[in-house]
Each structure stands twice: as structure tokens, then as C-alpha cells.
Structure 1
Amino acid sequence: MLRNTCRYYSAARPIPKSLLERQARRLANKHGDADVVPVADVQAALSGSFDDIFNMFKPNVLSEEDEKVLKKQYSETLARREQSGEFRSLLVHKLHMDTARESLDLDQLNSQFKQLQAIDRDLIDYALPRIAPVQEDWRTVPLYAKQLQWYIAYGAYGPREHYNDFEKDKSQSHFEVDPLSKFVLALFAAITATAWVKRGEKATL
């Protein structure tokens, strides 16, 4: 609606003369001379103001080239942060890494990782593939990098949460049949056995 209003006043109709005169008088009183600011200048200034307001609320449409430039600049920013030691500082001060063991406390990782800002998470995503490439021998990857990769991939509980619960429940459970069911099963077995016996007798006759 604001865009349409700006467009209406800036293009569809001229600015009211009374408004221009009042603006000229205000500016003249400020400068002490009624001839300092001509009405035409006031009109140009107001038109420019409307254009500025319109541009302020106009959607910012980026071209594909603009997006590539912005992504490149952001990647360069992350690279500078990593090279300046901010990644390690993040591990120590925000994720409480044990520098002696080069490992992360899992409870701290679970609670603090969710509170990281988006740019800090982007820094982790940028730095990890460079510290622990996919083709790298897993045994040479620092422990904190393994922990971070595991947490990002599987979350706090890992991929095998409740994996053995079924086997555990199966070993602890005991199947029991109530007395009525036992009677029905016994009766069914007796009837079936009798039927087979009679069938065998008929076959021999």
C-alpha cells in the first residue's frame, strides 16, 4: 500500500501548491530569507524524498551474479575467521573443549551447540571439511572433529537410539496363556486328533 501511495504522489499527480508554499516558508524562516529556497527546489526535494521512501520498501531482487558475489564474500569472511583462530576459540570458549585432550564434553556439546549463532554454525560447517576431509584416515582426525561430525550427523543420541530395545524386551518378556485359552487349545487339539483318527479308520475300510 505504501508503494502505491508513493507512486501516486510522485508520478500520478503533482505535489499540492499549498504544501510547496508552506515548505518554502519554513525553509525561508530557517534561513531568514524568503528568496533563498525557490518553490521548484522544494518540489524537487519532496519528489526525491518520495522516491527514497519508495526505494526503501521496494523488494531487493538479486541477480544470479549478485548471489555468487555475496556467497564468495561470505566464504572469504569464514576463511578469515578460521585463519585468525576464531574457530578454535569457538571450540574452547563456547563448546568448552578440553585443550589437553583435544576433546569435547558431550553434555556441554549437547547444551551449547543449540545456542550457537548461525554464523558460528556456518564457521563450523566451513572448517570441519578442511580439518577432517572425507578421504582422510579416520584415525588421524582430531577427536573433537569426530565428535562434531557425529553430533551434526546424528544428534545427541547417535543413529542407534533404542536399537537394542526390542531384543532386550524380548529376552525379559514371558509368554503366558490364561486358563480359558489353555482349555480351548486343549479341546481343539483333542477334536483335531479325533478327526484324524476317524479319517484314518475310514481310509482302511
Structure 2
Amino acid sequence: MPRLHRESWAKRVSLYPNGSQRKLKSSTYKNLMENKRDLSISMARANVIVLFVSIPVFIAQFAIFILSQEVENVGLTFNPVLLMLAVILGIATHEILHGLGWMVFGHKPLSAVKFGFQWKTLTPYAHLQEPVEVSIYRIGTFMPGFILGIFPYVLSLLLNDGNLFWFSLFHTAGASGDWLVLWLIRKVKKGTLVEDHPTHAGCYVLES
């Protein structure tokens, strides 16, 4: 981000979930940027951790569904090809939800979020290019896993729906990287500004 753009942003506001605003002096913002703490890990390492985290989560969700439903409900009644297309569409939606969470709750413009695909690790991403209060960052990080994973999973239990179960299972596991990021920033205090890392899973914590 160009220096002048950062200075201008600093003189304007930082936004909080309740809509309140706080002006930052350029000198204060500069000090925050110089003292930022890295709470991130490489995408390659994150993918390895996610693999091991996803397995027990998968087993737990599968076991709960099996124990609470009739065995035949685990099967697919939906066209497998269409279900796969829904899953692929869900992957794109996952990243869009990250961006929407940050834009809506952080009052950020569309230009503040960059969407892309990291070919080296085969990982799609949504990158917030402006600092934001940590609570907003957490909301945007949590949204996809909840909307595409946890919520559909609860519905699958209530509706005895095997199709919804498999869809939710995939997206809950797919959000393991987000759960990892939330774990990395678990000790960051409310009100602290963070800056999404451009290439790693996690963020910088801006400390005065």
C-alpha cells in the first residue's frame, strides 16, 4: 500500500463492530506499523496442520450424525455431480463470505478486499488490505465456517438430511484454516488493530 494512502487512512478512522469511530494521527499509525507483531504461519504449514485438525473434526461430526440418525440417512439422495458442483460453488462462496464479513462489519469498500488463488499451495484466499479492529477480523474469519459448515450441520441433524450432512462436513473441514487463525489470535485483546497477512494464514498485530 503506498505511503500516502496509509497516511490518509490513518488520519481518517478505524472502525469497530458497533459502528463507532476513532481517529488516528499519522504518527500514531506509523508507530503501530513499525511495531507490528506477526501472528501467522505459511500456507504450506497451515495446510499440514489443517489436515490433522480436520480428521478428528470429521470423525466427531460423523459419529454424532450416525448416533443421532438412522444409518440409511447417511447416504446421498442428491445427484453426486450436482452435489460436487455445490461444494465447488461453496468454496468460492467461502472466500466471498470472508470479504463480506470484513466489508459489512468493518465498513470497508470492496476495493479493500483482494480475492485470488495461491497456486503454489492450491489455496483460494480473500485478503483484507486495510487494518481493522480484531473483533471485526474475527467475525470475517468465522463467518464462512459457520454459514457453510456449522449451521448446515445442525440443520442436517434436525432434518435427518444426508446431503446437507456431507455438504456441511466438507465445509466445516474446509474452514479448519480459519479455526487455526482464530486460535493464533485468541489472546489478542478487543480494540487492537490487526492487519491481514498478504501471503500467510493469520495477521499482524499492530501494537503501540
TM-score between the two structures when normalised by the length of structure 1: 0.26
Compare relative contact order (CA 8 Å, sep 6+) and give the higher one, 1 or 2. 2
Larger-Rg structure: 1
TM-score between the two structures when normalised by the length of structure 2: 0.25
Query: Which protein is richer in helix relative to its size?
Result: 1
Query: Which protein is richer in strand relative to its size?
Result: 2
